[in-house]
Chains A and B, each alone.
Chain A
């Protein structure tokens, strides 16, 4: 639907004027190429980009000849030269044989199905030809025909034209499609108008006298209705409204006027489908075109005109229109009209006025493409496109149109945004309540907060040096390495703090006993990190350790620098000039930094210092492979449990043993989580069994 910009009324798609207020509706004058999607101006037969054909052979052209006739470009190869050549040949042939000029042929070609109207450019050429013909007509009028004869003859011509319209209206749809191919859409719309008139008879609105040229008005009455009707303000009254006055002849029925004129003998057989395109349009008929203006069905949507028309009239096989003209006697062409056919000399003059090439390298030249090329070309639509191909093409075209009619965005089904079910909410609340209760219990039972004594729920392993557990052996490796340091003055231990505040709650507890051990051994600790926040974490931890014990001093540690570059930074630090450290302590909860330090230290060769690590409990398996061999990593302390064991090994006091104080809380938390896992497993195992039984 198109909404009127003036009154807002909804109009049928393709309407040119508003049905409510008569306002001109906006129209898109572009055709979308079905192959590449390029928008082409109306009138193009071939796409400007990919040269694909925009208008099928069997479809009506969608140009607007009366709106912008001069803009219809001549895209086809010498389309406009076909009729001229044909006319010359036929005129010469008539002259030689002495027969009547080809009025019969061109009249029969009027409904020839095999001829294809290529573009609006054909109509352009026809208009030019008609102008010539009309010029001759004017000359004839001036030079000598009496007014009475002219009047009679004009009246005959008008009847003949009306009969043509009636005859077209009575044709089958196939013949109309084929005829449209031959004669251009102005004639097709002419016939369509007759059909529409038959469907909805309305009071006739005559053709406006203003539109009728003077020379044609002088030739005789156009019609009594046209004379009687007042002049309409609209310059283009549709013929659809003028047509009801004319009787519509049934198919095969001889019109009344023809019964009077036609000779008694039977109609000649239908001629063979003639290839010439423009010859199907007689000059006399072409001259009528300026009298009327038809509503132009310009495609507004994405689908081109030819697609819409194909869908509206899906009749691919054009039947020969000769039977429809059986009732028309060839002798009906009056002599005066035959005399108006261009003579050979006149045809030569017309050749000189061949249409101007409007595009390409030949722009501005006339007649540069030889007519012989067009004659030899297989331009006969019937032979070029067999019926079965048309049917297949029609089905494809309809499929294409249906695809184009679909919205750009395929509507996806909206996902169902259902919230959690009641049981899921209960589960979440159950887990949350248990964990919160556990945390509250931990806080209430923490040493120093609780008002009553809470016995330890767990204890660190005793005598790790004699244990067979791997983690305790790794812990003892760390202890022995630090314990075996022989630190001379000026020598230091490099401590890499490769963790941030997120992991600080666990890693600080792991690092504290190791740092206390080093400080107790009198080592000077140089702190480095490949993480920006690592330095701040280290500074806070060491400051707290030094303040907690008087035997440590702030001079025992120094914050070196943040080292960007990850593994490269580690390598650069290890090869930097200066006294190499006696020991490297890596504190991390990520496998990457642990690997960097181990690999880069190992790459330094035998001179590299030994390494120990304090890692999170989750990282213990990652450190294991490096501990098993004879590498530089001598030991590791993992997790809160390992830190508590180390504190016990160092025999730290209760106030200094931070990890040991957290053991109860850790044990309670772990137990609560395991209890939840067991409850969930039992719950869903039972529900699964019940569901299976059901």
Chain B
């Protein structure tokens, strides 16, 4: 009895039933009631997701705050993280609040400039630098690939990489490489991508069925 109350009724009420209603709203678009109900449930889901985002922020504050206060290993990096998070979140948050409280405040422009400056001169360059590091890593891996694995497949792989790279921006006189690259991307490449998409679709269907049948409960610890 307790299992029925604690487990099955909430599962059926809050998981299976809403899922079936949303699915029916997709499959029966002519039924306006189902469609409206689906829209409402989707709206709730977005609110819950936004609240989860907020919970994530508080969780970061709690974890790294504890790290700092207890002086655990690496506490200094946690302190830097907390400082950076507060510094990055303060201008846009303040701006958003002022837009509601005092829409005509002259501080708006200052906060907006602070946000864009922080983004353009700190976050964006750091992100680009990380992407550039990836270039170096991949290039070194391709350089040493024949050292670790010496096979016909490896040679073929390196040949495809070289052709695609050169065909993306073909040098003058080598425009034919663009055609080769186009064929590689749109014939074998797209075939592989279709297979991946079909696999993802089948996996999504199976996962949805398992959740509907309560075989899997990713929302529950049990």
- A residues whose Cβ falls under 8 Å from a Cβ of B: 427-428, 431-432, 435, 456-459, 461, 469-471, 500-505, 533, 536-537, 539-540, 563-566, 568-569, 571-572, 575, 595, 603, 605, 617, 620-622, 624-625, 628, 639-641, 663, 666-667, 669-671, 673-674, 676-681, 684-685, 687-688
A543 to chain B, nearest CB (A): 8
Q: Which of B120, B192, B193 has the most CB of A within 10 A?
A: B193
Determine, out of B2-10, B74-82, B133-141, B205-213, the stretch whose residues face the partner at the interface: B133-141
B20 at the interface (CB under 8 A from A): no
B33 at the interface (CB under 8 A from A): no
Describe A's contact surface by its main secondary structure.
helix
Select which of A470, A501, A565, A624 is within 8 A of B124 by beta carbon: A501
Q: Is B150 a contact of A684 with CB atoms below 8 Å?
A: yes
Complexed CA–CA distance, A681 and B154 (Å)? 10
Describe B's contact surface by its main secondary structure.
helix
Determine, out of B62-70, B102-110, B171-179, the stretch whose residues face the partner at the interface: B171-179
Q: Is B127 a contact of A431 with CB atoms below 8 Å?
A: no
* Given A431-B143, A564-B50, A677-B161; A471-B185 close (CB under 8 Å): yes
* Given A431-B143, A501-B123, A572-B42; A640-B49 close (CB under 8 Å): no
- Give the residues in chain B near A603, CB-CB below 8 Å: 26
* Given A564-B50, A575-B39; A617-B168 close (CB under 8 Å): yes
B90 at the interface (CB under 8 A from A): no
Q: Which of B6-53 contact A (CB under 8 A)?
A: 26, 29, 39, 42-43, 45-46, 49-50, 52-53
Q: Is A568 a contact of B136 with CB atoms below 8 Å?
A: no
B186 at the interface (CB under 8 A from A): yes
Q: Is B136 a contact of A681 with CB atoms below 8 Å?
A: no
- Give the residues in chain A near B85, CB-CB below 8 Å: none
* Given A431-B139, A500-B127, A571-B42; A458-B170 close (CB under 8 Å): yes
- Give the residues in chain B near A566, CB-CB below 8 Å: 49
Q: Is A565 a contact of B123 with CB atoms below 8 Å?
A: no
Q: Is A501 a contact of B127 with CB atoms below 8 Å?
A: yes
Closest residue of B by beta carbon distance from A457: B171
Q: Is B155 a contact of A681 with CB atoms below 8 Å?
A: yes
Q: Which of B158-176 contact A (CB under 8 A)?
A: 158, 161-162, 165-166, 168-172, 175
Q: Which of A428, A571, A688 has the most CB of B within 10 A?
A: A571
Q: Is A666 a contact of B144 with CB atoms below 8 Å?
A: no
Complexed CA–CA distance, A687 and B144 (Å)? 12
6 further contact pairs, Cβ within 8 A, besides A427-B143, A676-B142, A684-B147: A500-B127, A539-B116, A621-B185, A640-B169, A681-B145, A685-B146
Complexed CA–CA distance, A366 and B127 (Å)? 84
**9 A–B contacts, CB within 8 A, in A order:** A502-B127, A504-B127, A565-B49, A568-B42, A621-B192, A621-B193, A673-B135, A676-B143, A680-B142
Q: Is B128 a contact of A501 with CB atoms below 8 Å?
A: yes
Q: Is A621 a contact of B190 with CB atoms below 8 Å?
A: yes
Q: Is B131 a contact of A670 with CB atoms below 8 Å?
A: no
Q: Is B168 a contact of A641 with CB atoms below 8 Å?
A: yes
Select which of A565, A572, A677, A684 is within 8 A of B162 by beta carbon: A677
Q: Which of A461, A572, A622 has the most CB of B within 10 A?
A: A572
- Give the residues in chain B near A503, CB-CB below 8 Å: 127, 131
- Give the residues in chain A near B186, CB-CB below 8 Å: 470-471, 621, 624
Closest residue of B by beta carbon distance from A469: B182
Closest residue of A by beta carbon distance from B137: A431
Q: Is B116 a contact of A458 with CB atoms below 8 Å?
A: no
A539 to chain B, nearest CB (A): 7
- Give the residues in chain A near B162, CB-CB below 8 Å: 674, 677-678
B130 at the interface (CB under 8 A from A): yes
Complexed CA–CA distance, A639 and B167 (Å)? 12
B199 at the interface (CB under 8 A from A): no
A497 to chain B, nearest CB (A): 13
Q: How many inter-chain contacts with C-beta < 8 Å in the A-B complex?
A: 165
B71 at the interface (CB under 8 A from A): no
* Given A431-B136, A504-B124; A457-B172 close (CB under 8 Å): yes
Complexed CA–CA distance, A568 and B52 (Å)? 14
Complexed CA–CA distance, A572 and B26 (Å)? 13
Complexed CA–CA distance, A533 and B120 (Å)? 11
B115 to chain A, nearest CB (A): 7
Select which of A568, A663, A677, A684 is within 8 A of B45 by beta carbon: A568
- Give the residues in chain A near B144, CB-CB below 8 Å: 427, 680, 684
B83 at the interface (CB under 8 A from A): no
B72 at the interface (CB under 8 A from A): no
* Given A456-B172, A673-B139; A564-B46 close (CB under 8 Å): yes
Select which of A456, A563, A624 is within 8 A of B46 by beta carbon: A563
Select which of A569, A663, A687 is within 8 A of B49 by beta carbon: A569
* Given A565-B45, A605-B29; A688-B172 close (CB under 8 Å): no
- Give the residues in chain A near B170, CB-CB below 8 Å: 458, 667
Select which of B116, B130, B136 is within 8 A of A435 by beta carbon: B136
- Give the residues in chain B near A431, CB-CB below 8 Å: 136, 139-140, 143
Closest 7 CB pairs of A and B: A680-B143, A502-B127, A565-B49, A501-B127, A684-B146, A501-B124, A621-B189
Closest residue of B by beta carbon distance from A624: B190
B154 to chain A, nearest CB (A): 9
Select which of B53, B192, B200 is within 8 A of A564 by beta carbon: B53
* Given A470-B182, A568-B49; A666-B168 close (CB under 8 Å): yes
- Give the residues in chain B near A427, CB-CB below 8 Å: 140, 143-144
Q: Is A670 a contact of B192 with CB atoms below 8 Å?
A: no
Q: Is A435 a contact of B171 with CB atoms below 8 Å?
A: no
Q: Is A458 a contact of B169 with CB atoms below 8 Å?
A: yes
Q: Is B136 a contact of A575 with CB atoms below 8 Å?
A: no
Q: Is A677 a contact of B128 with CB atoms below 8 Å?
A: no
Complexed CA–CA distance, A605 and B27 (Å)? 11
Complexed CA–CA distance, A687 and B192 (Å)? 34
Q: Is B46 a contact of A565 with CB atoms below 8 Å?
A: yes
Q: Which of B39, B116, B147 has the most CB of A within 10 A?
A: B147
Complexed CA–CA distance, A669 and B138 (Å)? 13
